[in-house]
């Protein structure tokens, strides 16, 4: 069991640059989630996928943010024209939703983004 992995673990970029993060979920998990966590706060939901379909997006996800999950496997989160306010930990989680009404989400180690 390799768990949820994220790459890179740390990213430092200059304001205005584009960045892309990758998340590899636990094998055979059909749901994948992205959260953002700023210092001293709990994680906040950004978006989630069931297989390759993006089912919900938070209002936190501005037009500069885009997420994909091609073929229902790994996912990428891209931030265009980064701003200093984008500095945060970006967390990915995955789960398997079967017959049960709810699923247990397993989190990755996160990608810490610093925008200078």
Partner 1 sequence: KQEVTQIPAALSVPEGENLVLNCSFTDSAIYNLQWFRQDPGKGLTSLLLIQSSQREQTSGRLNASLDKSSGRSTLYIAASQPGDSATYLCALLTGTASKLTFGTGTRLQVTL
The binding site for partner 1 (CB under 8 A) comprises: 4, 31, 33, 35, 40-45, 48, 56, 58, 89, 91, 93, 95, 97, 101-110, 112
The Cα 13–Cα 33 span in angstroms is 24
Minimum distance from CB of 69 to partner 1 (Å)? 15
Give the residue with the Cβ less far from partner 1, 48 or 115: 48
Is 49 in contact with 69 (CB distance < 8 Å)?
yes
Q: What is d(CA 96, CA 111) in angstroms, rounded to the nearest whole number?
A: 22
CB of 16 to partner 1, least distance (A): 26
């Amino acid at each position: 069991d390799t768990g949820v992995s994220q790459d890179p673990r740390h990213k430092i970029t200059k304001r205005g640059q584009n960045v892309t993060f990758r998340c590899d979920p636990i094998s055979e998990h059909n749901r994948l989630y992205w959260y953002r966590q700023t210092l001293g706060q709990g994680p906040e939901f950004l978006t989630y996928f069931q297989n390759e379909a993006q089912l919900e997006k938070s209002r936190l996800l501005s037009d500069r943010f885009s997420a994909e999950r091609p073929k229902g496997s790994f996912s990428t989160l891209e931030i265009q024209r980064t701003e200093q306010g984008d500095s945060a930990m970006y967390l990915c989680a995955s789960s398997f939703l079967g017959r049960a009404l709810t699923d247990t989400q397993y989190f990755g180690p996160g990608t810490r983004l610093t925008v200078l």
